Amino acid sequence: MGFYLVPIAFFGLMALGMPVGISIGVAGMVGILDMGPRFMAMAPDRVFAGLDLFPFLAMPFFILAGEIMNRSGITAGLVKLADALVGWMRGGMAHSNMVASVMFAGITGSATADAAAFGNTLVPAMQKAGYSRSYACAVTAAGSIIGPTIPPSTLAIIYGSIMGVSIAGLFAAGILPGLLICAICMAVIALTAKRKGLPKGEGRPSFRGVIDALREGFLAAVLPVFILGSILLGIATPTEAAAIAVAYALFVGGVVYRALSWRDLYEVAVRTTRITGVIFLIIASATILGWWMTFNRVPQAIAEGLLAISDNPQVIIGLIVLLLLAIGLVMDINATLIILAPVLAPLTLGIGMDPVHAGIMIILALNISLMTPPVGACLFVLSSVTGERIEAITRELWPFILAEVAILLLIAFWPGLTLFVPRLFGL
């Protein structure tokens, strides 16, 4: 009976609007109660064991560094640099949005942070330049998922920690997929710019203009290069690099730009604590639910079900991608990753996939869910920040979604593309 009560409890609480972390936790406790009192006594140890992973420390540090950079206004220089590089083309501000998303991703690693920051700054600027608000929001949403793909990626830290996969390898493997997403989205913009009548920039910038923009955005642009370089070259672990990133952000924002007050630091700390708390609550709750699933051999049942359809590795990969995209439509991606990673990872190993390749495929599939209705987090962020209806954003977003799914399939079926950079650095 408990086998059926767990999904009923989870989906019932989600339907009532309960936070996903609480829904998962209650469903897990229902399962543990059915397993017996001995397992209930062991539950607290399981929760703490699920959280007691040293690499998890990198998450709050990277989040804090991004919040400090954003609050101090340093990231505004990135937008000016992106505009100087590509803003002269037709649809230039849309192209600038994409390029700035790549730069911003290397600081925050968060799609919702990207969506919130650009929703407050670039979307109004694009409207003023003649873009529709819905199109500006769609471009911002499409570019926002570059954040958790390019390092430092929170999802890569979670996946690497719980599955024992090299986080540095996952960081390296995320570079090319993130750049490909940017490139294909810019191609979509270029192909539709004339039909949509997108505004054209004022002309190619002068060399001096580019140098001035580079000078203004240099201090922000150098941080992701330093973070990734120190990890790939073996100078620092991801956790150490995250702590150094916080110190760098504090120095630049507080000493160089003098843009941080004590109140700013307090608000940044509170926001970082809230974001980290939500993620860790989901991880703790999913630990219990995952324990119940393992006890009831749910991972094995899912693997056997997929293998019963076909034993062809290419078909299995396609089914995994479809499963992730479908579940991502209705469920928080952090929870989905924590619950499904232990289920899908052994299956991918069984068909001969490299663990880093499998991890990036899973992460990218879930990232796309951040901009797909009905529960895409970036859509809700942009809607709340700009006041635009989610339906209007979604109508403009479909070409970008299809383009990014094409990149996902390319990554899934071409291992060499994903593993090129990790192999280059011996990861």
Per-residue pLDDT tens for 229-264? 777 777 877 788 888 888 888 888 888 878 788 888
Q: Is the pLDDT of residue 1 over 60?
A: no
3-state class (DSSP) for residue 15:
helix
pLDDT for 190-232, tens place per residue?
A: 888 888 788 776 666 666 666 776 676 677 777 777 777 777 7
How many domains does the chain fold into? 1
Task: Note whether residue 8 is domain-resident.
Answer: no
Residues whose CB falls within 8 Å of the CB of residue 420, separated by 6 or more in sequence, listed in order: 176
**Residue 60: band (very low, low, confident or very high) from pLDDT cuts 50, 70, 90:** confident
The tokens for 316 are 């299995």
Do residues 345 and 163 make contact, with C-beta atoms less than 8 angstroms apart?
A: yes
Q: How many CB atoms lie within 10 A of CB 34?
A: 17
Residue linked to tokens 């954040």: 147
> For residue 412, what pLDDT is reported?
93
Confidence at residue 407, expressed as pLDDT on a 0 to 100 scale: 94
**397 burial level (CB within 10 Å; 0-12, 13-18, 19+):** buried
Q: Can you list the alpha helix ranges (DSSP code H) found in 206-312?
A: 207-232, 238-250, 262-295, 298-309
pLDDT for 206 equals 65
Q: What integer is the mean pLDDT of 280-290?
A: 76
Q: Has residue 7 been placed in a domain?
A: no
Closest CA to 416 of 171, 152, 166, 176: 176
Return mean pLDDT, the chain: 80
The answer to whether residues 92 and 138 touch, using CB atoms and an 8 Å cutoff, is no
On the 0-12 / 13-18 / 19+ scale of CB atoms within 10 A, 266 is exposed
Q: Over range 87-92, report the average pLDDT.
A: 74
Q: Show Cβ contacts of residue 89 under 8 Å, excluding neighbours closer than 6 positions.
A: 95, 190, 193, 200, 201
CB atoms within 10 A of CB 326: 12
Which residue pairs, CB below 8 angstroms and at least 24 apart, start in 162-165?
162/50, 162/53, 162/338, 162/341, 162/342, 163/341, 163/342, 163/345, 163/355, 163/359, 165/355, 165/356, 165/359
- Residues 125-138 have pLDDT tens digits of 888 878 888 988 99
Q: Is residue 392 part of a domain?
A: yes
SS3 414: coil
**What is the structure's pLDDT at 344?**
86
Quick one: pLDDT band at residue 110, thresholds 50, 70, 90? confident
Runs of H (alpha helix) within 351-389: 355-368, 377-386
Predicted local distance difference test score (pLDDT) of residue 185:
92
Residue 385 maps to a domain? yes
Distance CA 11, CA 245 (A): 39
DSSP string, 184-221: HHHHHHHHHHHHHTPPB-S-PPPHHHHHHHHHHHHHHH
The verdict on residue 85 lying in a domain is yes
Packing angle, helices 298-309 and 262-295, rounded to 10: 70
- CA atoms of 220 and 257, how far apart (whole Å): 12
Residue 164 structural domain: 54-424
Q: What is the largest CA-CA distance in the chain?
A: 72
379 neighbors 393 (Cβ within 8 angstroms): yes
Q: What percent of the chain has pLDDT above 70?
A: 90
Average pLDDT over residues 273-286: 78
Residue 11 inside a domain? The answer is no
Structure tokens at 135: 């199109």
Which pLDDT does position 360 carry in this prediction?
94
CA distance 77 to 218: 8
Residues 372, 379: Cα–Cα separation, whole Å: 8
Q: What is the pTM of this model?
A: 0.80
pLDDT digits over 263-276, tens only? 888 888 888 888 77
Look at residue 209 in the predicted model and tell me its pLDDT.
64
Domain-located, residue 40: no
Distance separating alpha carbons of residues 141 and 385, to the nearest angstrom: 12
Report if residue 20 sits inside a domain.
Answer: no
User: What's the residue count for the chain?
Assistant: 427
